């Protein structure tokens, strides 16, 4: 079963929603973030950046900084920018990007199910980062960025969503990145129907948000003796049909040839790959094929059968194959999370921009990977294993500030 919780969202008033909702602050370049904070007094970024324009600064991720964030929430509510729904409900959010519609359900996900692995994970969390997020939630008391959870396609859920979205949405606006956003507030009957339908779904999978979900679970344990705030036992989530989810690759760009010449590097690659030259950039055509830009020249790398272990959920993944047979043994990169010689570029970025990074000389090599499938992600999670770092770029990327979850209720 999958338990989902209705909640009373804090959300923007209708005429300001397009000004309040925002991408996460870390996705903006510094100059763009500064311009948004200067020009838009309603942006949710002011809550996350409470010291903007102030000469007094607190330490990043300190209790003092988190208290200021909490105070900014209160200020937005007092000014009437945000309001709280009077009744607990469930919301449907649709994001349309480049003609592709991502439609899913905003509700609380169960900490108990997370702890019992009915919400399945495929990524390890960093203890320090998890602790920081837990402290943040404890002090601030709100969660504004949902965890992205996928569920197997379900006809009953689909039918409820289709009916609920046949009427005009509560919110409808388009942002400057050409993405359309729509939000529906479910009726009592629709809410009851969706809860009943999800009760038949055996498990969900974290597509994005492992640290957010882990920190919510940690906070629930800290507050376990307080029965007066049941919201602590759930965390803000966006449930989306796995068939609607979009998984892109995470490509690798490397600064070093590890003292090898171009010719010597290519020779070493021949032990594990069939190599062929191509006249210009292109993406891999299928699994176990990669393309490579090496000092401006392009190649196709086809994995030899001897290096692919199809019986192992992780070892058969192309990001892991690249690490085990190229990055570590040939290029000397042993820790993808900390080594400064490697960076990661999402599949949402064009190949031409990746190629430019190599031709300008800052990077020696770019590896373009074939996207990991949802079935591969689920296989890793079902076997309680961990995906290689930066294996997937998952869309949709959620907006902050549309439906805010009050942990303290």
pLDDT string in tens for the chain (409-residue length): 899 999 999 999 999 999 999 998 888 888 999 999 999 999 999 999 999 988 888 999 999 999 999 999 999 999 999 999 999 999 999 999 999 999 999 999 999 999 999 999 999 888 999 999 999 999 999 999 999 999 999 999 999 999 999 999 999 999 999 999 999 999 999 999 999 999 999 999 999 999 999 999 999 999 988 887 889 999 999 999 999 999 999 999 999 999 999 999 999 999 999 999 999 999 999 999 999 999 999 999 999 999 999 999 999 999 999 999 999 999 999 999 899 999 999 999 999 999 999 999 899 999 999 999 999 999 999 999 999 999 999 999 999 999 999 999 8
Report the pLDDT value the prediction gives residue 225, as an integer from 0 to 100.
85
Report the pLDDT value the prediction gives residue 345, as an integer from 0 to 100.
95
Token pair, residue 259, equals 């003292």
Give the Cα-Cα-Cα angle 251, 340, 312 (nearest 5 degrees): 50
Report the pLDDT value the prediction gives residue 25, as an integer from 0 to 100.
83
In the chain, what are the helix, strand and coil shares in percent, each to the nearest 5?
A: 35, 25, 40
Report the pLDDT value the prediction gives residue 53, as an integer from 0 to 100.
84
How far is 406 from 409, CA to CA, in rounded Å?
Answer: 6
In this predicted model, what pLDDT tens digit does every residue of 80-90 receive, in sequence order? 999 999 999 99
In angstroms, the Cα distances linking 135 to 122, 158, 225, 407 are 24, 37, 17, 13
**Dihedral angle of Cα 17, 20, 25, 27, to the nearest 10 degrees:** 30
Nearest to 138 by CA among 222, 235, 224: 222
Nearest to 134 by CA among 231, 198, 211: 211
DSSP state of 228: T
Report the pLDDT value the prediction gives residue 56, as an integer from 0 to 100.
80
Neighbouring C-beta atoms of residue 374, cutoff 10 Å? 19
- Beta-strand (E) ranges in 43-86? 82-84
Token pair, residue 404, equals 């805010």
Report the pLDDT value the prediction gives residue 55, as an integer from 0 to 100.
82
The answer to whether 78 and 345 have CB atoms below 8 angstroms apart is no
Nearest to 318 by CA among 364, 352, 283: 283
Report the pLDDT value the prediction gives residue 226, as an integer from 0 to 100.
80
In this predicted model, what pLDDT tens digit does every residue of 1-50 receive, in sequence order? 899 999 999 999 999 999 999 998 888 888 999 999 999 999 999 999 99
Report the pLDDT value the prediction gives residue 182, as an integer from 0 to 100.
98
Report the pLDDT value the prediction gives residue 27, as an integer from 0 to 100.
84
Task: Kindly indicate whether the domain formed by 248-393 is annotated with CATH number 3.50.50.60.
Answer: no
All structural domains of the chain with their residue ranges: 4-246+395-406, 248-393
How far is 141 from 278, CA to CA, in rounded Å?
Answer: 54
């Amino acid at each position: 079963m999958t338990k989902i919780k209705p909640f009373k969202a804090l959300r923007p008033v209708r005429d300001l929603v397009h000004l309040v909702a925002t991408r996460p602050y870390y996705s903006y370049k510094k100059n763009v973030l500064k311009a948004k904070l200067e020009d838009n007094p309603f942006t949710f970024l002011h809550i996350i950046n409470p010291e903007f324009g102030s000469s007094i600064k607190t330490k990043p991720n300190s209790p003092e900084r988190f208290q200021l964030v909490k105070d900014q929430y209160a200020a937005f509510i007092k000014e009437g920018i945000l309001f709280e729904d009077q009744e607990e409900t469930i919301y449907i959010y649709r994001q349309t990007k480049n003609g592709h519609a991502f439609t899913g359900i905003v509700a609380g996900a169960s900490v108990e199910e997370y702890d019992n692995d009915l919400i399945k994970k495929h990524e390890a969390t960093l203890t320090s980062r998890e602790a920081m997020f837990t402290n943040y939630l404890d002090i601030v008391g709100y969660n504004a960025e949902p965890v992205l959870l996928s569920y197997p396609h379900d006809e009953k859920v689909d039918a409820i969503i289709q009916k609920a979205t046949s009427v005009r949405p509560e919110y409808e606006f388009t942002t400057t990145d050409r993405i359309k956003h729509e939000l529906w507030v479910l009726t009592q009957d629709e809410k009851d129907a969706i809860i009943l339908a999800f009760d038949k779904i055996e498990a969900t999978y974290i597509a994005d948000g492992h640290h957010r979900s882990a920190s919510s679970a940690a906070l629930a344990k800290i507050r376990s003796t307080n029965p007066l705030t049941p919201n602590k036992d759930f965390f803000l989530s966006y449930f989306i049909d796995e068939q609607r989810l979009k998984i892109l690759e995470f490509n690798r760009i490397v600064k070093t040839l590890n003292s090898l010449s171009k010719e010597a590097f290519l020779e070493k690659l021949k032990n594990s790959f069939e190599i062929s030259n191509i006249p210009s950039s292109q993406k891999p055509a299928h699994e176990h094929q990669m393309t490579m830009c090496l000092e401006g020249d392009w190649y196709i790398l086809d994995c030899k059968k001897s290096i692919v272990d199809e019986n192992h959920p992780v070892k058969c993944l192309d990001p892991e194959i690249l690490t085990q047979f190229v990055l570590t043994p040939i290029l000397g990169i042993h820790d993808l999370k900390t080594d400064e010689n490697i960076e990661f570029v999402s599949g949402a970025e064009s190949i031409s921009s990746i190629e430019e990074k190599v031709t300008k000389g800052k990077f020696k090599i770019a590896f373009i990977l074939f996207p990991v499938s949802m079935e591969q992600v689920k296989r890793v999670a079902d076997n309680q294993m961990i995906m290689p770092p930066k294996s997937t770029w998952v869309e949709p990327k959620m907006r902050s500030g549309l439906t805010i979850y009050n942990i303290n209720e």
